[in-house]
Amino acid sequence: MLEQYGVIPVVTFRREEDALPMLGALCAGGLPVAEICFRTDCAKECIEAGRKAFPDMCIGAGTVLSGAQCADALAAGAQFIVSPGYSEEVALLCEERKVFYLPGCATPTEIMRALAAGLTTLKFFPANVYGGLSAIRALAAAFPQMRFVPTGGVSEETLAQYLAFDKIAAVGGSWLVKGTPADAEEAARRAVRIVHEVRG
C-alpha cells in the first residue's frame, strides 16, 4: 500500500493546530502521505482534521499499541495502522476492517509470527539499532516473500541506499517533518526527487 510513495513521513503532533499546516506542506512538496503517531492526546483529532482537509492524502496512525487504540485510530479515519512491534489484537482488528497493518518486526521469530498472520510487509524498527540495511538483507534472504519498511535512524543521506534494495517497500522517517512547514515542504521535495532517481 505504501510502496507507491517510497517515503512515509512520521510525525508527532503536540497541538492539533499544528497538523494542517504540516500536512499541507507535505502535500505541497509532492508527498501526500503521513503516519501520525498515536502517542499524544491530540493524535485522534489531528487524523480527523487531516482526513477532512486533505481527502486525497493517505493518513495513517503510528505507535498503535493495542486494539483499543487501533479502534480509536480507525474511528478517526486512519487509512493504515503502524505499530512499533507486532500486536495480535491489532492485526486481527485490521484484518477484520480490511485495513493495511504494518507492525514492527526485527527478529526472525517476530517475522515468522507476522508471516503466520498473513502479513508480507513489515516495519523494521528501530532500523539503525538493529543493523540497518545489512540486517534487512540478511533477513530478506531467509524470508524472500517479505518486504520491509525501515524506520528509525533513517535520513535523507541514507534514503537512496535503502530504496535501492528491492525488498524495501518504502522508508519511514521523522527527518521530513523537522522544523517549520516550509522546511518540511522542501524536505518532501528532496525526498520525492530521490525516490524518482532511484526507482524511476
Report, as residue numbers or ranges, the catalytic residues.
35, 123
The amino acid present at 107, given as its one-letter code, is T
Cis peptide before 144 (omega within 30 of 0): no
Residues 6+ apart with CB under 8 A from 147: 3, 120, 121, 122, 167, 168, 169
Chain centre distance of CA 41: 20
**Do 93 and 69 form a contact (C-beta atoms < 8 A)?**
no
9 closest CA partner among 22, 122, 20 = 22
Longest Cα–Cα distance of the chain, Å, equals 45
Residues 6+ apart with CB under 8 A from 94: 70, 81, 100, 101
Q: Which three cell numbers stand for residue 56?
A: 486525497
Total Cβ atoms within 10 A of residue 4:
10
The amino acid present at 77, given as its one-letter code, is G
